[in-house]
Structure 1
Amino acid sequence: MERSAFVYIMASGHNGTIYVGSTTDLVKRIFDHRNGTVDGFTKERNCHRLVWYEVHDDINSARLRERRMKEWKRAWKLREIEGLNPDWDDLYDRIARP
């Protein structure tokens, strides 16, 4: 992962509860969500599956995209997920491997 920031979507399961976030260290952040070391929404609602992510050049553009996506209707977010990952596979293993 060469770029410096990411926007991501976590889900509780296929078509389940979703969460949009941003980070500069995607592997670590998703690891924390998956292992429940991050208190809050994803832990409470079992959003442990990485179903979508997007690479950005810097954290400011990633945060702006995150804020905009959080205002989107659910249907728009689902369309974004299914455009990249129609089966809602957990993408963590793909990003965590060197």
Structure 2
Amino acid sequence: MQINIRKELTYGEKDKAIPAFARHFYVYIMTDDAHSLLFVGLTNDLFRDVHMHRDGKMEELPQGKRVQKLVYLEYYEGLSEGIGRRNEIFNDTLINQVSLILQANPQWEDLTPGLETTL
């Protein structure tokens, strides 16, 4: 399934449009600059969560730990699908999590530039 993220999201084989107000969920992985810490999350407001991570306001992380780079992203229409996928990635081994990132983003580039205009 190919996903294009923009104001009106499109998905699937028939490129069916989803209204901007529709519920949507993102499973994402963020990391620190050294790639020594991975955070797997689920949100319906990716822009907000990325900024909360960068500002150190996410309670799930240990005190003093911060992830700065969004390195992996998946889109889901249903909450239950998103939760299932988030749990699958979260409970997987570190090697498999890194492999997932490397397949989609081999340079570990930060995917956040332009989020304001694409979400």
Which residue matches 2:112? 92
8 Å contact 1:6–1:23 — kept in the other structure? yes
Structure number with greater Rg is 2
TM-score by length of 1: 0.86
2:63 and 2:110 map into 1 onto residues whose CA distance is 16
Q: In proportion to residue count, which structure has more helix?
A: 1
Q: Where do 5+ consecutive residues of structure 1 fail to align?
A: none
Q: Where do 5+ consecutive residues of structure 2 fail to align?
A: 10-22
Report matched runs for 1:1-98 at 5 Å.
1=5, 2=9, 4-41=24-61, 44-98=64-118
Runs of 4+ in 1 over 3 A off after TM superposition: none
When the two chains are superposed, the root-mean-square deviation of aligned CA atoms in Å is 1.9
Q: Percent same amino acid at aligned positions?
A: 23
User: How many residues end up aligned between the 2 structures?
Assistant: 98
Bigger RCO of structures 1 and 2 (CA < 8 A, at least 6 apart): 1
